[in-house]
Amino acid sequence: MQFFKTMIAAGAALTTLGISAAFAQDYKAEYRVSTVVPAPFPWGIAAEKWAELTAERTDGRINLKIYPGVQLVQGDQTREFTAIRQGVIDMAVGSTINWSPQITELNLFSLPFLMPDYAALDSLTQGPVGEKIFEIIQAKGAVPLAWAENGFREVTNSKTAIRTPADMKGLKLRVVGSPIYNDMFTAMGANPTQMSWADAQPALTTGAVDGQENPLTIYSVLNMHELGQTNVTLWGYVADPLIFVVNPQVWESFTPEDREILRQAAVDAGAYGVDAARKGLVGDDQTLIDEIKGHGVEVITLTDEERQAFVDITRPVYDAWKEKIGPDLVDMAEQSVANR
């Protein structure tokens, strides 16, 4: 009897603390959070911040452990979303590119030259398009919580300065394993080859490929200038946001209070990650670009005219993918960008 009284008293105490229904002891000792790259890449910084804030604000009830290199799916980033849905992965901070094989609508962010600047990107993630995308992810079997950022993907290579599509002729470029990238680079006259991020790094080191496209934060952390990637073209053709998600069963296992803490921690970590992703690349602070130039790298910013040639040559790809993604969603995105 004494035992039951104690249990009831303990239950009441937990309820007053705001811990109801599920007890903390039902929680797993650790939740597995998948990312592609770890800190000090902004992507990993965002995930670490999420873990830190969550542990702090739940008094250690929820512990997130980060598994970079998409190691929970043997490095195959295009299988990450399926693994989240199946519960092989509990949570993730993932790129829209890597989940687009399962969620066609996420190709929106890969439409060439849809987003001319950061304000355009924000108008999508922070507006009605972002809400719609979250509904779609939810319907596909994961609970989306917040946005962060990998960044604008700039093209780099070891052979030549790229100012026109003609400069790309025959260049062997590593692209991510999402079909729209093959279509875009083929349209530009390059020779794209799809491979995972795990395979990309040795391919760049050995010179098996001439170039790649990724945000400058990734270029810089990896010192890609030392891998011969001494030609960089800033063209702002696509940007990949990151999304914080949780497997639905895991989500349901948390108390409503803890769910809210986890969500708010993701929102805060997302904002922190976006700052890290843009540091040295926006407004008056161009220090990251200056640092890259300081290594003797040729960094070209396309003029409007030069950029237009790339817009024109990839237009058929844009139109074809607009159909696949869903013309209504793309119209909505074009509106948001126009009104930013």
Contacts with ligand X2X by CB under 6 A lie at 36-37, 77, 95, 97-98, 150, 176, 197, 214, 240
Give me the phi and psi of 204, to 5 degrees please. Answer: -75, -40
Q: Where are the beta strands (DSSP E) in the chain?
A: 31-34, 64-67, 91-95, 143-157, 172-175, 191-194, 211-214, 231-246, 298-301
Intra-chain end-to-end CA distance of the chain, in Å: 65
CA distances from 165 to 117, 207, 214, 262, 273 (A): 21, 22, 18, 45, 33
When the beta carbons of 102 and 150 are compared against ligand X2X, the nearer one is 150
What minimum distance in Å lies between the beta carbon of 34 and ligand X2X? 11
Q: In the complex with ligand X2X, which residue's Cβ is closer, 37 or 281?
A: 37
Instruction: Sort 331 into a burial class: Cβ within 10 Å, 0-12 / 13-18 / 19+.
Output: exposed
How far is it, in rounded angstroms, from Cα 340 to Cα 119? Answer: 6
Q: Which residue lies nearer to ligand X2X by CB, 37 or 325?
A: 37
CB 103 within 8 A of CB 81: yes
In the complex, least distance from residue 8 CB atom to ligand X2X, rounded to whole angstroms:
50
DSSP designation for 23: -
Nearer to ligand X2X, 95 or 314 (CB): 95
Between residues 214 and 255, which has the closer beta carbon with respect to ligand X2X? 214
Beta carbon of residue 247, minimum distance to ligand X2X (angstroms, whole number): 20
Shortest Å, Cβ 18 to ligand X2X: 37
Q: Which residue is nearest to ligand X2X (CB)?
A: 197
To the nearest whole angstrom, how small is the minimum distance from the Cβ of residue 157 to ligand X2X? 15
